[in-house]
Amino acid sequence: MSRNAWEERPLAPFGMEIDIRLDAPLPDGFEQRLVDLFDRHKMLIFRNQVMTEADQVRILENFGRVLGAHGEYREISSDGALGSGPLTWHSDLAFTEEPYKIISLHAVAVNDGESWTAFANSVDVAARLPEELAGKIRDRQAVTVIAPIQSSRVVDYDTSTEMPHQIRPLLIPHPRTGEPVLYINWMQTSRIEGMDRDESEATLARLFDELYREDRIYTHHWNNGDFVIWDNIALQHSRCDLTGMNPRKLQRIVIADKSFFDLLPQFQVGDNRISAWGSGGKELVLD
């Protein structure tokens, strides 16, 4: 088969939509093309897919080590483990030493067009920072913590670092491409090391303004059959409030070496603190 066996459509302001049936035999060269497009565009979107969990695993295996099913939520449901509340901007597991690398979601039962996930591009923004602001954060480190509430920003300069947290440079090299990533986010980043409160908050506010400018955001409205793969380091995401909608189910496969439960052994699969945590406004209780 030739390259014409699939169609590619760049999305704005970033991402690539690809037309192909992923549960059928894939054309020669397609899988390498997928990886190349992913590294360039950070997000791939496919529509009208019918994929089993095994089909989705097979596609994700092109990108790295798929996290096993043990101790991992492979189906997320708004009436299940991860709750139905809004989630403000974050990167999954940014407060651990091993954030998920890649996340994929396949909509198996959603309310067509009613729910959305939005994406911000921390690589594009890093490349476009005003010179003076880039200079201000060069060689600085930020503190990123587990957010006790996920629906809004509740972490700040005084947030305790007794909570699970990471201290890392604001600009990190992307693990696959080496590009600088502005790896801070609204939900989880509490402060910049070595700055007093006023300077830290003012600098973070300016960086967040750059990250979340409306014309830099891609918002995906979910329809049944949609399949989205995104880079959890290069992109950060947020989701709408699902409360009151019919429950939705998404099939989730991620690229990571460790699960949430491997990294945070104080929690166990099925722990009802986690669904409460994802349900908007309820504070996470840590041991």
Residue 96 or 203: the one with the smaller Cβ distance to Fe ion is 96
In whole angstroms, the minimum distance from the beta carbon of 220 to Fe ion comes to 13
Q: How far is the C-alpha of 64 from the C-alpha of 17, rounded, in Å?
A: 21
Provide, rounded to whole angstroms, the least separation between the CB of residue 83 and Fe ion: 11
Residue with the shortest CB distance to Fe ion: 92
Cβ proximity to Fe ion, 174 vs 239, nearer residue: 239
- Looking at the Cβ atoms of 51 and 235, the one nearer to Fe ion is 235
**Cβ atoms of residues 265 and 76 within 8 Å:** no
Query: Which of residues 92 and 226 has its CB atom nearest to Fe ion in the complex?
Result: 92
Q: Which one, of 228, 255, 202, lies nearest residue 107 by Cα?
A: 228
Which of 76, 134 has the CB closer to Fe ion? 76
CB of 86 to Fe ion, least distance (A): 12
Q: How far apart are CA 34 and CA 229, in angstroms?
A: 11
Query: Contact 82/274 with Cβ under 8 angstroms?
Result: yes
Which residues, 6+ apart, have CB-to-CB distance to 25 below 8 Å? Answer: none
Which residue, among 82, 143, 74, has the nearest Cα to 282 in the 3D structure? 82
Q: Phi/psi zone of residue 220: left (φ > 0), alpha (ψ -120 to 50 degrees), beta?
A: beta
Q: What's the min distance (Å) between Cβ of 199 and Fe ion?
A: 29
Amino acid present at 149: I
Q: Which is nearer to Fe ion, 78 or 200 (CB)?
A: 78
Structure tokens at 196: 């007093």
Shortest distance, position 246 Cβ to Fe ion, whole Å: 21
DSSP string, 272-285: HHHHHHTTSSPPPP
Q: Which residues bind Fe ion (CB under 5 A)?
A: 92
Q: Which CB, 147 or 170, lies closer to Fe ion?
A: 147
Least spacing, CB of residue 2 vs Fe ion, in Å: 37
Query: Please, what is the minimum distance in Å from the beta carbon of residue 66 to Fe ion?
Result: 18
Residue spans of beta strands (DSSP E) within the chain: 7-10, 16-19, 43-46, 75-77, 87-90, 102-109, 116-121, 141-145, 165-169, 171-173, 180-182, 189-192, 218-221, 227-231, 235-239, 249-255
